Amino acid sequence: MTRLTPDLIEGVPDDTLDLDSRLLKMCGKTVKQLALEGAGVYHDVDFSKMRVACVPITSGMGIIGGFSKSVDAIVRRLGMQSYVTAGTDVNGFQQAIRDGVDMVMMADDAMFVAYNVHAARSTNNSWGTAMGYAVALKNAAGGIEGKDVLVIGAGLVGTEAVQILKSWGANVSVTDIKTEKAKALEERFGVKALPDVEDALASHRYILNAAPAIFPGRLIQEGAVISTPGVPHYFDEEGRKKAKAIIHDPLEIGTAMMAVNSALFSMEVSK
Ligand code: 2YC
């Protein structure tokens, strides 16, 4: 699990990335539309009645400056009501429950969840990031069925992404510097493990990069569509020129996906 740092997320509250206009250009969809699609909903939903509490968690390596504020801003951009609890940890959780919120968002070093109080169910950020970036890739690629897709990274996000892309009928390959991790996914899900990361990248046009790795532009195919939640995030001049689309943000797509999916657990919405 790659841990965010304050500098990576400082622009999230004020949306300095202007993510929606970038996504509209690359995928033809906004963050909210991508998240709804990931939840199987192809029309707008009014989330204004959804009340959310973001609880800062001090365990492990502790609070990340700006993390709760960023989650709060992302959830508000979906149209939900949201606030960061004054208390942290169990204290903050108790405050949220006493306030009668519908959903609690909180993260320790290993897990980030959106907990729907009414449904007593949660969605986590590994699935949310995988789904959000898979939907973005599908839209940017103009559909993914029958297409060769490479997932880089057989960790928590890559493992979810492999399953999602396969379920959509893509020909999925997976690669990881720890080849045994990719092999394990080949055995579990019937996808193809590729031993050499660089060769795999150079031979694919559609890529979901869920690894904390930086790839030189010489490996990027002309016209590549790269959906890449991985941090640190960097593509050199050659890579940026050759790629048709490079879809990235430090936190928003995954958080929006998990918040929308969890909120819908307790909403009557036609699919
Ligand atoms: O500020 C806080 O409440 C901290 N406990 C938050 C820690 C988040 C650690 N996880 C990460 O940095 C990333 C997240 C985007 C989800 C997975 N890794």
For residue 20, is pLDDT > 90? yes
Residue 217: strand, helix, or coil? helix
Q: State both tokens at 113.
A: 């969840």
Lowest mean pLDDT among 121-125, 147-151, 152-156, 212-216: 212-216
For residues 194-199, give the mean pLDDT.
98
pLDDT of residue 157: 98
pLDDT of residue 2: 86
Atom of ligand 1 nearest to the CA of 108: 5
Predicted local confidence at residue 271, as pLDDT = 84
Top mutation candidate among 91, 108, 126, 255 for ligand 1, by most atoms within 8 Å of CB: 108
- pLDDT value for 85: 98
- Cα of 63 vs centre of ligand 1, distance in Å, is 8
Contact assessment for residue 8 and residue 250, using Cβ atoms and an 8 Å cutoff:
yes
State residue 265's pLDDT score: 98
**Which residue in this structure is represented by tokens 């995030």?**
233
Average pLDDT over residues 186-194: 98
Q: What is the pLDDT of residue 148?
A: 98
Residue type present at position 26: M
Q: Is residue 71 within 8 Å of residue 57, measured between CB atoms?
A: no
Ligand 1 atom closest to residue 88's alpha carbon, by position in its atom list: 3
Nearest CA to ligand 1 atom 13: 3
Position 200 scores a pLDDT of 98
Residue-wise pLDDT tens digits, 111-145: 999 999 999 999 999 999 999 999 999 999 999 99
Residue 48 Cα to ligand 1 midpoint, Å, equals: 26
| Alpha carbon distance 231, 188 (integer Å) | 26
Q: How far is CA 74 from CA 131, 148, 229, in A?
A: 17, 32, 16
State how far the Cα of 155 lies from the Cα of 64, in Å rounded to an integer. Answer: 22
Between the CA of 68 and the centroid of ligand 1 the distance, in Å, is: 9
Whether the per-residue pLDDT at 1 is higher than 80: the answer is no
Helix intervals (H) in 125-230: 125-140, 156-167, 179-189, 197-202
Residues 174-193: what's their mean pLDDT?
98
Instruction: Determine if ligand 1 sits within 6 Å of the CB of residue 253.
Output: no
β-pair type (112-116, 121-124): antiparallel
Cβ contacts of 267 within 8 Å, gap of 6 or more: 45, 50
Q: How far apart are the CA of 219 and the centre of ligand 1, in A?
A: 31
Which residue's CA lies nearest to atom 6 of ligand 1?
Answer: 107
What is the side-by-side strand order in the sheet with 171-175? 192-193, 171-175, 148-152, 206-209, 225-227, 245-247
